[in-house]
Homo-oligomer: A and B are copies of this chain.
């Protein structure tokens, strides 16, 4: 081939080369922390099907809503849910400032880590008391400062990292994959909404209006002519079980097409998402099977959040059950 011909072929080669590079980039695995087992394939298949234009399962972008439980689904809830670690640390901080608080038997139980006493009784009166102590009677700004301060310093004992670094890497990858395909991602957690909103943007990239959680009354007033919300303990809305579906309906006003949870508390939103949905949908249950890298539990969880009926229902509803031990090659980022 002469020089002139070679020169003429150059643009064609460049074009072909760029096509090849593109296909390499497209082939890059969006879920590298997932083992090549059926759950990974189910997630990839679903995402591909709903996002390919003109496909029979195509879902318009504005209807691509994915909801995630938080504790036990996006990050651990063992040895205890992170918000409970916050509550205990807060009780310690408050008791150091106001020693008379320790006269209260439930404060004493919290200081001693006596969870049996705190969670005694059907309504967990002891725990509700220290929740009220640490989550109400202050302005929302003051509460935000306390959470942020704790979150910036506290360590997650099993890993020795910050709590924000203790998220499940495979789930972070799922969130990124969904976002790259035009999904809106919402967190629908039993945790307190005011607690979660302090870190949801940094940790998951989820802005406050897409974080749904438990809440109680708030009083608005001009205090010294400054708009102030004062957190109350009354009218607690526990965002769990059917409460999760109701909150999604009332707050977001649209139906998810993908739902990720890990306990019977998520069963209602798995049902809402996947049963009789005119769109193709995906339900996923994270099953904590890895006692070595994380924790092993289902019917006997470290705190609340049993997984019994949702697991039984999974085959009938075609929910994908993720066996953490088998289906996740890494659990935490940096492993």
Binding site for B on A (CB under 8 A): 62, 140, 193, 197, 207-211, 215, 218-222, 225-227, 229, 242, 245-246, 249-254, 268, 271-272, 275-276
Minimum CB–CB distance for A333 against chain B, Å: 25
How far apart are the CA atoms of A207 and B242 in the complex, in Å?
24
User: Among the listed B209, B227, B249, which residue makes an inter-chain contact with A220, where contact means beta carbons less than 8 Å apart?
Assistant: B249
Distance of A62 Cα from B193 Cα, bound (Å) = 19
Chain B residues with CB under 8 Å of A222's CB are 271, 275
- CB-based contact B250/A218 at 8 Å: yes
- Using Cβ atoms and an 8 Å threshold, which residues of chain B touch A226? 275-276
8 Å CB contact of A227 from B140, B215, B245 = B245
A222-B271, A268-B220, A271-B222 known; A229+B252 contact, CB < 8 A: no
Please give me the residue from chain B that is nearest to A253 by CB atom. B208
CB pair A208–B275 under 8 Å, yes or no, is: no
A98 to chain B, nearest CB (A): 28
Asked whether A250 lies within 8 Å of B207 as measured between CB atoms, the reply is no
User: Within the complex, what minimum Cβ distance (angstroms) separates A168 from chain B?
Assistant: 24
Given known A227-B271, A276-B227, contact A249–B209 (CB-CB < 8 A): no
Chain B residues within an 8 Å CB radius of A229 = 245-246, 249
Separation of A268 and B221 alpha carbons in the complex (Å): 8
A254 contact set on B, CB distance < 8 A: 207-209
Q: Which residues on B sit within 8 Å (CB–CB) of A219?
A: 242, 246
Cα distance, A249 to B144, chains bound together (Å): 13
Contacts A227-B245, A271-B227 given; indicate if A251 touches B218 (C-beta within 8 A): no
Asked if A242 contacts B271 (CB within 8 A), the reply is no
Question: In the complex, A193→B275 CA distance in Å?
Answer: 25
Q: Could you say which of B193, B252, B268 contacts A209, with CB atoms under 8 Å apart?
A: B252
| Partner pick for A272 among B193, B220, B271, B272, CB 8 A cutoff | B220
Tell me the complex Cα distance, A212–B229, Å: 18
Residue of B nearest to A207 (CB): B62
B contact residues around A220 at 8 Å (CB):
242, 245-246, 249, 268, 272
Give the nearest-CB partner of A184 in chain B.
B209
